Structure 1
Amino acid sequence: ACIDPQALPDITPALDLLYQEHSIKVLHACRQDLEIFYQLRRRPLRPVFDTQMAAPLLGYPDQISYAALVEELLGAKLNKDHTRTDWRQRPLTPQQLEYAANDVIYLGRIYLKLRHALEEAGKLAWLEEDFASLYVPSEYETRPGNAWLRLRQAWQFEGAQLAALQALATWRETRARKQDQPRTWILRDEALYDLARALPRSRADLGAIPTLPGKTASRHGDALLETIDQARHRAPDPVPMALHPVKRLDKDEKAQVTRLLDLAQARCAELALDPRTLTSRKELARLLRGERNLRLLRGWRRRVAGEELLAIVEPPAGASSPPP
């Protein structure tokens, strides 16, 4: 049966059922769903089994779609005509209800197949390590003052522009929570960047920013200008190194990263893993440049490949790296 939360006077009984820890909740690409549950109950939903996280450990593509996984494992083809539908509209059509049902009814069978295969391959414990990160409250807690850390282009800003970007991200996060709306409905990232670059001083200046919708400028113009003006004279928080792109590698470094990637991919072939679930060229470049707070160096990834790759980058005293 499909449950419509908007039709229920109180969703507490449904949440009570979902939060029973003796039952496994099977989802596909669950992080956004878990964020919503966390906001409702202020604690992570557990235990869960994410089929998108599980599939790459068996060689399926990293971030495989639900429809592709259903077809691959069960041979069923899903109609995705309503992927972009507006689910706030009521009443829902029979076609929308069928789509909603199809989006979950195959999960049980997929779960059983994936779990059995992972047990057979000795990888179920690996997956449990990855699932553990889903139960950490800080994964879902974004303090308004830290909202700017989600902005991928923040590393490009400095000085007053960076301070303005940080302040605008805080303002957007606070407004989104107050209105219970997605951040991008308040202001898109592109508009945040352009506002911070332009440092507008007047409503006329706001009107010259093409990525800022006119309705948004009209509704929030004074608040945006005040936020920017206050930030203009404040020192910004430093941008963490993790937000900076890896600096351009020289010829020798590129060759070394390629060698590391070849070794990682060979290990994945031996273990029937999708290579992208183990590491990436970008992460290996960071490893080569000295970063150690990397996914590759935690848990099962470190055991199956990370330790070996780290030994190449940092050979023990008195030893030397083997020739390329």
Structure 2
Amino acid sequence: MSEIQFVDSVTELDILCQKMQHEPWLAIDTEFLREKTYYPKFCLLQIATLEWVACVDPIALEGQMSELFEIINNPNIIKVLHSCRQDVEIFYQLTGKLPAPVYDTQLVAPLLGLQENPGYAMLVSGFLNINLSKIHTRTDWSQRPLSADQMKYAADDVIYLAKIYQMMEEQLQKLGRENWLKEDFEQLMNPDLYDIPPANAWLKIRGKNKLTGKQLVIVQALAEWREKVAKKDDRPKNWILRDELILDMAKLQPVNIKELSEIRSINDGFVRRSGQQVCALIKAAQGKPGLKLKAKENSVKKTVKQEAVLDVLSAVVRLRAEENALNPIILATRKDLEALLFDEPGSLLLHGWRYSMVGKELQGLLQGQFTISVNKNDLTLHAQEV
């Protein structure tokens, strides 16, 4: 590996782009800040292969990175990332495009016997026997100049990622699992993951399942208003209105400034700036029909028989996991099985490698296409004769 190339001029960026466009894959990571903004502030882009590593300064090159983004969005180049959602969000925000295809090492790890959703430091330790330093975890990456230690810290993320990618690919090929995650990676390129409509912002507020349908209408109205204001002003949502205050307003339903001011923990400045608008939103929402949560969000109590069916499904999962040398939790959790039992859309067991390994079989079992026989040492599924 050559020395770290720090790219903060158009000339250097042109040279890097010439090098990048001929690569079949690129290990990529980003550094950003989000504590004081709605949108992530892009501070550093790290890129590596097994032969070279570069750190690009998007602050110095603001508005001049279109060629680099075209390469990152090139469908013929695999973008290797770890826990890619936040990195992809930055690229989508800046270019309006998703950098397909991606390869997320966090998703690959469980197929190789590691725990689900492992952190990057755990992967580096497990694959390379290297313990990553945490000294710059809280670095303000927007500050310039960056020190040599900061540059090395940032570059290590992609240097090791490139090595881990190669090792993962070799192990997956030996196991015949190199294509298992194709659909999972494709799902990461769904724009809905990165651009949530303001009208749906209320669905992310915790604690709403304890409210009535009429109260939920108010939660939706206030969350939508907050999302729009946060985007327009580029400020964190909770700086505008905290989730717990949205829930309190939905319960108490203030329709004038006096009632709003009496809510515990309400900020006087918020009341002055936005009180009239918020009260008007609440009043308008009171006249709308109530909302309903999905069964999962309502936490519907299961019957004894449904719990027994879930136990049977769990037994099949354990068998198939054992056959494929996987942790059963990686294959399907209890919640995954509940989603399948209650026909919830988006169940993990109806997509990708999980569907091939056990989901299709479980679906058939629930539809009466299979029976189960048991003896002291085994449990076997039998296809029903048509």
TM-score (normalizing by structure 2): 0.74
Name the CA shift for 1:164/1:27 in 2 (closer, same or farther; >3 Å): same
Name the CA shift for 1:155/1:67 in 2 (closer, same or farther; >3 Å): same
Runs (5+) with no aligned partner, structure 2 = 1-53, 380-386
Aligned-partner residue type, residue 193 of structure 2: E
- Cα distance in 1 between the residues matched to 2:184 and 2:265: 38
- Cα distance in 1 between the residues matched to 2:329 and 2:235: 33
- Cα distance in 2 between the residues matched to 1:176 and 1:283: 34
RMSD: 2.7
In structure 2, the partner of 1:287 is 340
When structure 1 is superposed on structure 2, of 151-160 and 45-54 the one drifting more is 151-160
Structure 1 residue 68: Cα displacement: 0.5
* Counterpart among 84, 87, 92 of residue 38 in structure 1: 92
In structure 1, the partner of 2:322 is 269
1:79 aligns with 2:133: yes
In structure 1, the partner of 2:384 is none
In structure 2, the partner of 1:259 is 312
Give the structure with the larger helix fraction: 1
Q: How does 1:168-247 map to 2 (within 5 A)?
A: 168-210=222-264, 212=266, 215-245=269-299, 247=300
Contact 1:144 1:171 in 2 (8 A): yes
Aligned-partner residue type, residue 6 of structure 1: I
Structure 1 residue 95: Cα displacement: 4.5
Contact 2:214 2:289 in 1 (8 A): yes
Contact 1:166 1:236 in 2 (8 A): no
* Counterpart among 329, 333, 358 of residue 305 in structure 1: 358
- Cα distance in 2 between the residues matched to 1:228 and 1:265: 50
Structure 1 residue 204: Cα displacement: 4.7
Name the CA shift for 1:273/1:25 in 2 (closer, same or farther; >3 Å): same
Across the two proteins, how many residue pairs are aligned to each other? Answer: 321
Q: How does 1:106-117 map to 2 (within 5 A)?
A: 106-117=160-171
- Cα distance in 1 between the residues matched to 2:289 and 2:145: 51
Give the structure with the larger strand fraction: 2
Runs (5+) with no aligned partner, structure 1 = none
TM-score (normalizing by structure 1): 0.87
- Higher relative contact order structure (alpha carbons within 8 Å, sequence separation ≥ 6): 1
Rg larger in structure: 2
When structure 1 is superposed on structure 2, of 130-139 and 77-86 the one drifting more is 77-86
1:3 aligns with 2:56: yes
Name the CA shift for 1:4/1:211 in 2 (closer, same or farther; >3 Å): farther
Percent identity reads 39
Aligned-partner residue type, residue 234 of structure 1: K
Structure 1 residue 58: Cα displacement: 1.3
Q: How does 1:13-162 map to 2 (within 5 A)?
A: 13-162=67-216
Name the CA shift for 1:151/1:94 in 2 (closer, same or farther; >3 Å): same
